[in-house]
Amino acid sequence: MSEPPSKVTYETYLGLDRLLQCQSLASEKAGERVDEEHLFIIVHQAFELWFKQILDDLRAVLKTFQLEEFDESKHLAGIAAKLGRITLIQKLIIGHFEIIETMPPAIFLNFRKHLRSGSGFESLQFRLIENTIGLQRGTRKTMNNSDYKGILNADQRKIAEQSEEDPSLFDVVAKWLESVFAKYVGDEEKYFEVLQTMLDRWSKDESIDEHHRGKKDSYTVIFKKAEYDSSDKRLSYRAFHGAFLIFLYQEEPQFQQANRTLKLIMDVDAQLSKWRHTHVLMVHRMLGKKMGTGGSSGYDYLMSTNVDDYRVFIELFHMAAFLIPYEYKPSEKPPFK
């Protein structure tokens, strides 16, 4: 006779018997418990739990974008919902740094010596988030002349390497934007004629200051494919114009959900930059410019990653420089067929 299934309780469902025993203080093991180490562990464990959720949502977004039957009208709302949740989680974990900062630096030093080589640099999940969003391998800064994989064990390294090869959020979004361009710009010559008309109207408006009217020449790089392709832009020419079309005509019904999706993608990228920046400030407050526990250069290394090179979708941010006020748009609207 089989045993009856065990009762599901709050504790067993959440695995609290294991979860709440995971805070093992190195200082306590050394016979000199520092209470603040418990807080330090809790916050970093919370980071990793939220990282796991971010990865789960990112993978779901990638899976949806890669559906053979992908349909903007059907699927973008679900994608936007997950991206919106990711940004909320990012804001939440950025707030965790304020909790760490309630610990005086002098108290942190009392248990830091017990951490030995342990370092946040070893967080596999954070690297997977960066890779899944689309941070390029060649962009990363090295630590002690070694990339982040050098500090991982063999199993972790295999997972990290696979994440570098798998399609990223940048890859699937770029492909989607190319499809937007193909869908709404059947006649490229007509599309560029409309853009030129808009630009001419704007640049000839005497009420606009000279600085803005003088921007006309800067549009050459996005009007001419050869010049665009010779630039250092990561988005393809068609992907750029797919995004440009969405931003330019964001008030049109067919582009409203797409515009919201792009905004949320930019939010995810921006919040990741804010996380890095806040992390740098916290490390500086706690350690000054001392070496990190993992042998990294601590503050200096983290500052080297807090730069535009680490922003995956920065071209979407740059695109604002090319937008033209709505009032100068001609009567022609997409699709340009």
The answer to whether 298 and 134 are in contact (CB under 8 A) is no
Of 75-79, 202-206, 324-328, where does mean pLDDT reach its minimum? 202-206
DSSP string computed for 241-274 = HHHHHHHHTTTSHHHHHHHHHHHHHHHHHHHHHH
For 224, how many CA atoms within 13 A lie in the half-sphere containing its CB? 9
Position 78 scores a pLDDT of 98
Tokens (6 digits) for 286: 């706690």
Per mean pLDDT, which range of 42-56, 206-220, 222-236, 315-329 is the poorest? 206-220
pLDDT digits (tens, 9 = 90+) for 116-147: 766 778 899 999 999 999 999 989 988 777 78
Respond yes or no on whether the N-terminal peptide bond of residue 335 is cis (omega within 30° of 0): yes
183 falls in which pLDDT band (50, 70, 90)? Answer: very high
Q: Is the pLDDT of residue 214 over 60?
A: no
CB 195 within 8 A of CB 223: yes
**What does DSSP assign to residue 122?**
G
Cα distances (Å, whole numbers) of residue 292 to 7, 32, 50, 112, 129: 46, 22, 23, 10, 22
| Cα within 13 Å of Cα(295), Cβ side | 11
Q: What percent of the chain has pLDDT over 70?
A: 93
Q: Which helix (H) or strand (E) holds 6?
A: none
DSSP conformation class of 116: T
CB 54 within 8 A of CB 126: no
Interval 217-263: pLDDT, tens = 788 889 999 999 998 899 999 999 999 999 999 999 999 999 999 99
Does 194 score more than 80 pLDDT?
Answer: yes
What CA dihedral angle connects 273, 276, 280 and 282, to 10 degrees?
Answer: 110
Percent with pLDDT over 90 in the chain: 70
C-beta neighbour count of 124 within 10 angstroms? 20
Q: Write the secondary structure of 9-45 as one string of H (helix), E (strand) and C (coil).
A: CHHHHHCHHHHCCCCCCHHHHCCCCCCHHHHHHHHHH
CA pair distance 98, 254, nearest whole angstrom: 41
* Distance (Å, whole) CA 132 – CA 59: 8
336 pairs with which residues across the strands?
185
Quickly count: other Cβ atoms within 10 Å of residue 186's Cβ: 12
Checking if the pLDDT of 189 tops 80, the result is yes
Instruction: Supply the mean pLDDT for the chain.
Output: 91
* C-alpha to C-alpha distance for 325 and 298, rounded to whole angstroms: 45
Report whether 124 contacts 159 (CB < 8 A): yes
Distance separating alpha carbons of residues 83 and 267, to the nearest angstrom: 9
Q: Which residue has the tokens 């930019």?
A: 266
Distance CA 299, CA 283 (A): 6
Name the helix (H) or strand (E) containing 305.
helix 299-305
pTM, entire model = 0.92
User: Rounded CA gap, 40 and 31, in Å?
Assistant: 18
Other CB atoms within 10 A of residue 180 CB: 22
**Structure confidence at residue 297 (pLDDT):** 58
Structure tokens at 323: 């937008």
The predicted structure's pLDDT at residue 212: 58
- DSSP H helices, 66-142, are 72-100, 105-112, 124-133
